[in-house]
Amino acid sequence: MNEREGSVMGKISADFLMGRASIEVIDPDKNLETVRKHLRTGSGIVLFNHFKGDFFLWARFVKENLAPLDNVTAMVAMKYLDPHRGLTSKTLSFMFPKWEKSHGVKVLPVVQSKENGIYLEHKRINIASTLKARGFLRIPGHILAFSPEGTRSLSGVLGAAEEGVDLIIRASKNSIVIPVAAEDSSGSGVRLYKSTTRIRVGTPFFNQDVERDHEDHPDIKRKDLIMQRLAQLLPEQKRGLNK
Total residue count of the chain as it appears in this document: 243
Long-range contacts of residues 218-221, Cβ cutoff 8 Å, at least 24 apart: 221/166
Mean pLDDT of 54-82: 92
* 86 vs 175: CA distance, rounded Å: 36
* 66 vs 73: CA distance, rounded Å: 13
Average pLDDT, the chain: 87
Are 143 and 66 spatial neighbours (Cβ–Cβ below 8 Å)?
Answer: yes
Task: Show the domains of the chain with their CATH numbers.
Answer: 3-238 (3.40.1130.10)
pLDDT tens per residue across span 98-129:
898 899 999 999 998 889 999 999 999 999 99
Amino acid residing at 192: L
Are 200 and 233 spatial neighbours (Cβ–Cβ below 8 Å)?
Answer: yes
pLDDT tens per residue across span 211-229:
999 999 999 999 999 999 9
Write the CA distances from 116 to 12, 83, 87, 110, 111, integer angstroms. 35, 17, 21, 10, 7
Describe the crossing of helices 207-216 and 164-171 by its angle, rounded to 10 degrees. 120
pLDDT at 7: 62
Burial letters for 70-106: b for 16+ Cβ neighbours within 10 Å, e otherwise? ebbbbbbbbbbbbeebeeebeebbebbebbbbbbebb
Mean pLDDT of 20-44: 94
* 10 vs 217: CA distance, rounded Å: 47
Confidence of residue 31 (pLDDT cuts 50, 70, 90): very high
pLDDT at 33: 98
Say what percent of the chain tops pLDDT 70: 89
What does DSSP say about strands 176-184 and 197-201: parallel, antiparallel, or unpaired?
A: antiparallel
Long-range contacts of residues 226-229, Cβ cutoff 8 Å, at least 24 apart: 226/47, 226/148, 226/161, 226/165, 226/166, 226/169, 226/177, 227/148, 227/150, 227/158, 227/160, 227/161, 227/165, 229/47, 229/179, 229/202, 229/203, 229/205
pLDDT at 192: 44
Q: Give this prediction's pTM.
A: 0.90
pLDDT at 222: 95
Q: Which residue has the higher pLDDT, 170 or 190?
A: 170
pLDDT tens per residue across span 120-165:
999 999 999 999 999 999 999 999 999 888 777 767 788 888 888 9
pLDDT at 193: 47
The DSSP result for 14-77, as a single string, is: HHHHHHH--EEEE-TT-HHHHHHHHTTTS-EEEEE---TTHHHHHHHHHHHHT--GGGEEEEEE
Residue 240 predicted with pLDDT over 90:
no
Mean pLDDT of 11-18: 76
Phi, psi of 144 (to 5 degrees): -110, 130
